[in-house]
A and B are shown apart, each in its own frame.
Chain A
């Protein structure tokens, strides 16, 4: 079951992400970059306090210890895009599935909103539209909606898609120019806007790509690897510098 992180799965692309926790400055830009790019609605205070906010990318803090020996660690968590996703198995209607390039896709217009995938996801990175959030907002606030990405209706589950629309765009462009996608042509919003450049994205099947190289790093680990979900989001552990 256990496979090395950068292992070849198929001959095609296998998109993956590497997040260097040592470089990450815990700023949360990835969260908002994702919200802007993917038309993620904000939720009003009431729904926020009832834990209905949506954040495909989430910088999760973990504070350990007592004063003064305290450490807070920050871990940006998008969908882990598992190679063996527990969420796609349980979907009753083919609304979430692992696509051939390794992206766990979510078909909003087919989802019936049973939320079994949310219950099955051990990383808790799938989100539900509890209300028609965008419709409830003042009309002015939808003006900045990205036309490349659909607005989600109430009642469906959504999640990080590795900015799939960008891949489609890049592929269309490549097809029109009658060529293959170039390495580094397909980027994701969180990676583009990361101030400390802690997020790397690319083809894990391409041995020359930076992600493939970093995935073999000694610091590389995957979240809840023991579950056998084989995530394609790979973390590089923080280095200890205390002597």
Chain B
């Protein structure tokens, strides 16, 4: 049905590498944000500068970004494997 694409064959290694790069850049970005939030926590602790506010926001931001990483991985691997 779809002549240009052969569903049974795996795509070229280049495509796979780019997909991995895409995934890792997203994971890197999201974990970067998590690390950044962590650093702000550390700074506010160190400078005694409303640590409580930072904790409160980190409590929301960190799970959200972790979840995003999770969802992205879930979609990525789920679809990649689901095609078999």
Count B-side interface residues using an 8 Å CB cutoff.
2
In the bound assembly, the distance between CA atoms of A94 and B47 in angstroms comes to: 10
* Distance of A67 from chain B, by nearest CB (Å): 52
The prevalent SS among residues of B at the interface is loop
Interface residues of A in 70-99 (CB under 8 A from B): 94, 97
Interface string of B51-79 (1 = CB under 8 A from A): 00000000000000000000000000000
**Chain A contacts for B49, CB-based, 8 A:** 94, 97
* Distance of B11 from chain A, by nearest CB (Å): 45
* Distance of B21 from chain A, by nearest CB (Å): 32
In the bound assembly, the distance between CA atoms of A33 and B47 in angstroms comes to: 35
Interface residues of A in 81-133 (CB under 8 A from B): 94, 97
Interface string of A147-162 (1 = CB under 8 A from B): 0000000000000000
Chain B residues at the A interface, C-beta cutoff of 8 Å: 47, 49
Shortest 3 CB-CB distances between A and B: which pairs?
Answer: A94-B47, A94-B49, A97-B49
User: Could you list 3 examples of A-B contacts with CB < 8 Å?
Assistant: A94-B47, A94-B49, A97-B49
